[in-house]
């Protein structure tokens, strides 16, 4: 992997990740951009203990642009021999005319400065592709980029937790159709992770030192009904108390706290396993159905908690589609009281995910 860091016209960092070492990245951003001005602020909820990012500047972010105006596609030089739009240069967020993977600072970040950092990860230059369309080599390059960004962002003084994720589909709320994900570098431990850490500590005390993550994975493997993929270095299963209609948790066999600690064998096997999961998600509801909307989220240990080695890196993949043409909405119980009601039994979800395995 070759990494090339540069700056956009407004000073934001942009990084190319290329599979070939001989690629030269010397394109400049010619756009007349003003420096990014953000108003991100972290406020604490005194009743719940949660933190909320107030980011009013995001109201003006790009919203469902046409494909020929996508800010995540490569830039296009002017073609003197063409007519119409093709004759005019088009400058996007990526100055290059092609790329493998690009990471850049979000122009409309939820977190900025002392409140953290937000980055965009473009998985491919192909606007009409999805992560599931990537080759295993391309997916391996994405994993390498996630690991590199985790290492870099962890060095920032304000950062406490690094979160790599992908939102896919308009139903999820995605405003740009180009295949991409994001990375949030939080200046605090997120509420969901804090609850995991509390459960981890309580289980350790209750069982005389046993690890909760290890026991959860072992119990799922022993039960077997909710296991979706049982590979040499990764295990994927629908959790016993799944919140979402179709939800899969993916764990490396060897417990590690973060992406940086993944062993070589697990890194090598990950592309095959993860691409298979994504392709199964797209087959869940039968032929002719639109691509399945999903959230794919890496859970990594916070940086300064005690006993962070006890935390287990894992990926949580879920969709809000519960059946053909119907979505799972968060209504009164979920939104008002955080008590989820799942219409799809986890055992049935796992069975369906096994049925749609690649042949």
Catalytic positions, please?
Answer: 180
If 0-12 CB within 10 Å is exposed, 13-18 middle and 19+ buried, where does residue 99 land? Answer: buried
CA distance 74 to 98: 5
Torsion of CA 111, 242, 266, 127, to 10 degrees: -60
Q: Give the C-alpha distances (Å, rounded to integers) separating 83 from 74, 79, 89, 98, 261.
A: 20, 8, 12, 22, 52
Helices (H) and strands (E) in the chain, counts: 6, 15
The pair phi, psi for residue 330, each rounded to 5°, is -85, 105
Q: Which residues contact 13 (CB under 8 A, 6 or more apart)?
A: 5, 6, 7, 104, 105
In three-state secondary structure terms, 314 is strand
Residue 179 structure tokens: 């295949």
Helices (H), the chain: 136-153, 191-207, 212-223, 264-283, 337, 346-355
CA distance 245 to 267: 28
122 bridge partner residues:
102, 180
CA distance 102 to 90: 18
Question: For the chain, first and last CA: distance in Å?
Answer: 31
Residue 129 structure tokens: 């592709």
Element (H, E) at 54: strand 51-54
Q: Which residue has the tokens 């009743």?
A: 47
CA distance 127 to 99: 12
DSSP letter at 33 equals: P
């Amino acid at each position: 992997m070759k990494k090339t860091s540069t700056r956009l016209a407004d000073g934001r960092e942009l990084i190319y990740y290329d599979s070939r070492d001989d690629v030269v990245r010397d394109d400049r951003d010619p756009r007349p951009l003003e420096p990014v001005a953000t108003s991100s602020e972290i406020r604490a909820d005194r009743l719940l203990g949660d933190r909320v990012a107030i980011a009013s500047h995001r109201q003006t972010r790009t919203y469902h642009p046409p494909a020929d105006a996508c800010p995540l596609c490569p830039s296009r030089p002017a073609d003197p021999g063409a007519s119409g739009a093709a004759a005019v240069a088009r400058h996007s967020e990526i100055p290059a005319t092609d790329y493998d993977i690009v990471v850049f600072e979000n122009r409309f970040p939820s977190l900025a400065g002392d409140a953290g950092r937000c980055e965009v990860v473009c998985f491919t230059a192909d606007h009409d592709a999805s992560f599931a369309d990537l080759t295993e080599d391309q997916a391996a390059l994405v994993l390498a980029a996630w690991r590199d960004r985790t290492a870099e962002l962890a060095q920032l003084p304000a950062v406490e937790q690094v979160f790599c994720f992908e939102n896919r589909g308009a139903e999820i709320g995605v405003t740009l159709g180009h295949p991409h994900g994001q990375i949030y570098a939080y200046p605090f431990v997120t509420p969901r992770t804090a609850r995991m850490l509390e459960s981890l500590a309580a289980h350790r005390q209750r069982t005389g030192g046993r690890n909760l993550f290890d026991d959860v994975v072992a119990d799922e493997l022993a039960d077997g009904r909710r296991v979706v993929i049982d590979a040499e270095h990764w295990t994927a299963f629908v959790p016993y108390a799944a919140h979402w209609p179709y939800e899969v948790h993916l764990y490396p066999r060897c417990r590690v706290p973060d992406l940086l600690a993944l062993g070589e064998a697990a890194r090598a096997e990950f592309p095959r396993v993860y691409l298979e999961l994504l392709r199964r998600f797209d087959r869940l509801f039968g032929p002719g159905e639109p691509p399945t909307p999903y959230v794919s989220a890496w859970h990594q240990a916070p940086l300064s908690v005690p006993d962070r080695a006890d935390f287990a890196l894992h990926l949580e993949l879920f969709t809000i589609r519960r059946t053909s043409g119907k979505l799972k909405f968060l209504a009164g119980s979920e939104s008002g009281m955080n008590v989820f009601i799942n219409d799809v039994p986890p055992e049935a979800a796992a069975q369906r995910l096994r049925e749609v395995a690649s042949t």
